[in-house]
């Protein structure tokens, strides 16, 4: 674990070798240890691992959150005005006008 805490995980482009925080490349032995580290060990030292499934899950969560906020905004839209800038209120009124016009047709 001490090795992982002393590792810069932003590898130079085109290389698979990590470097120490002071810029020295890891030795072959140190690189082998880093290559065998578990996901939990990487997370324990604060390394952010790209996980495509997490990205998909985050996008779905954003959509659900927007739907939830939208449901509250519909019922309590007057309360939102106090948090809006003048420009936001103008845009809000413009968008409400479009929605109302579509609902009437």
The pLDDT averaged over each successive group of 10 residues in the chain (105 residues) is: 80 78 89 86 76 76 88 78 88 85 68
pTM of the model: 0.43
Sign of CA dihedral 24, 25, 30, 33: positive
Give residue 49's pLDDT: 65
Q: Domain map of the chain by residue range?
A: 2-44, 52-104
Give residue 29's pLDDT: 92
Q: How far apart are CA 62 and CA 99, in angstroms?
A: 22
Give residue 14's pLDDT: 76
Give residue 51's pLDDT: 63
Give residue 104's pLDDT: 66
Give residue 2's pLDDT: 82
Give residue 67's pLDDT: 86
Stated as kind and residue range, the H or E segment containing 54 is helix 52-75
Residue 62, Cα to own-chain centre: how many angstroms? 10
């Amino acid at each position: 674990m001490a090795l992982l805490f002393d590792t810069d995980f932003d590898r130079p482009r085109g290389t698979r070798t990590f470097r120490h925080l002071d810029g020295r490349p890891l030795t072959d032995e140190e690189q082998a240890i880093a290559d065998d580290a578990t996901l939990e060990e990487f997370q324990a030292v604060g390394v952010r691992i790209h996980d495509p499934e997490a990205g998909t899950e985050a996008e779905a969560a954003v959509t659900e959150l927007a739907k939830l906020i939208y449901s509250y905004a519909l019922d309590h839209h007057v309360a939102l005005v106090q948090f809006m800038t003048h420009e936001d209120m103008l845009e809000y009124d413009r968008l409400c006008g479009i929605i109302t016009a579509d609902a009437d047709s």
